[in-house]
């Protein structure tokens, strides 16, 4: 067990230092996730002249929470894995005793800490511009949010890593991610809180993995009513399913990869 912790500490330290080399680019990566802030302005303005179930302050807090959730859950592993396959770099990864999955997971996990100072800086700016939206989450909400955000990141990573396995058979597996992003965009709660969906549609959407990537942790942070127990079970269920599919595709893909002479 001590060896595992030492290995985890070493690989995370290495990738954290690697990410700090790109700290100038990290600012632009953080800014690229500012779509929720744009939507915040649209929804808060609309809430002042319509009946949406949430007030202007509620919308402002929700989309600020969405912005923070996006900083913790953004994933790009499919493009990295696709490049490794196309360029043949995966062969060198396979010579190492550690599964390539953990290299990608560690780089993503370490990048969260590298981008946090920029994210918190922008968060302070938003609260300065919208002081009425400032709030301090309760300890219970913050604790549940921390659990949900870790599970949401894991689920998002497993979803994209599973799609990345198709790079063994097609050159542009990232096209699958771009297609699935349409569902992610509209069903995750990034565009609008699920409270704005018709009740029957909302119930259906809640059985898909997408709301638990953004809506679920964001709602926990701002205190919107969500079923925490059900959310955890759905996340764990989808994560287990994607993990099993990913492992099956990995075994099949390795035979395909070696068969191609790589």
- Per-residue pLDDT tens listing for the chain (262 residues): 667 677 676 777 777 676 766 666 666 666 667 777 777 777 777 777 766 667 778 888 888 899 989 989 989 899 999 988 888 888 888 888 888 898 888 888 888 888 888 788 888 888 887 888 888 888 989 999 999 999 999 999 999 999 999 998 888 888 999 899 989 989 998 888 888 888 888 899 999 999 999 999 999 999 888 999 999 999 999 999 999 999 999 999 888 776 444 4
The length of the chain, given as a count of residues:
262
Asked if 130 and 46 touch (Cβ cutoff 8 Å), the reply is no
pTM listed for this prediction: 0.89
Alpha carbon of 11 to those of 5, 17, 23, 195: distances in Å? 10, 10, 19, 41
CA nearest neighbour of 206 among 220, 227, 190, 225:
227
CA distance 182 to 215: 16
How large is the angle between the packed helices 228-259 and 139-164, nearest 10 degrees?
20
pLDDT (tens digit per residue) in 19-68: 766 666 666 666 667 777 777 777 777 777 766 667 778 888 888 899 98
């Amino acid at each position: 067990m001590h060896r595992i912790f030492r290995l985890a500490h070493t690989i995370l330290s290495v990738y954290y230092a690697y990410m700090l080399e790109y700290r100038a680019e990290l600012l632009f990566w953080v800014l690229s996730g500012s779509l929720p802030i744009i939507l915040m302005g649209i929804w808060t303005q609309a809430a002042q002249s319509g009946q949406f179930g949430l007030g202007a302050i509620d919308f402002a807090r929700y989309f600020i929470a969405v912005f923070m959730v996006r900083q913790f859950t953004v994933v790009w592993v499919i493009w990295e894995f696709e490049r490794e396959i196309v360029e043949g770099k995966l062969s060198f990864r396979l010579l190492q005793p550690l599964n390539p999955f953990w290299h990608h997971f560690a780089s993503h996990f370490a990048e969260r800490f590298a981008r946090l100072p920029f994210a918190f800086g922008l968060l302070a700016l938003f609260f300065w511009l919208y002081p009425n939206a400032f709030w301090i989450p309760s300890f219970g909400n913050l604790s549940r949010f921390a659990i949900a955000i870790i599970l949401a990141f894991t689920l998002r990573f497993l979803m994209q890593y599973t799609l990345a396995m198709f790079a063994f058979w097609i050159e542009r597996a990232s096209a699958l991610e771009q297609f699935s992003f349409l569902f992610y965009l509209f069903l995750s709660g990034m565009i609008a809180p699920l409270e704005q969906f018709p009740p029957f549609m909302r119930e259906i959407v809640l059985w898909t993995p997408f709301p638990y990537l953004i809506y679920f942790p964001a709602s926990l942070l701002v205190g919107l009513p969500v079923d925490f127990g059900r959310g955890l079970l759905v996340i764990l269920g989808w994560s287990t399913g994607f993990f099993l599919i990913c492992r099956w595709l990995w075994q099949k893909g390795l035979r395909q990869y070696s068969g191609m002479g790589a």
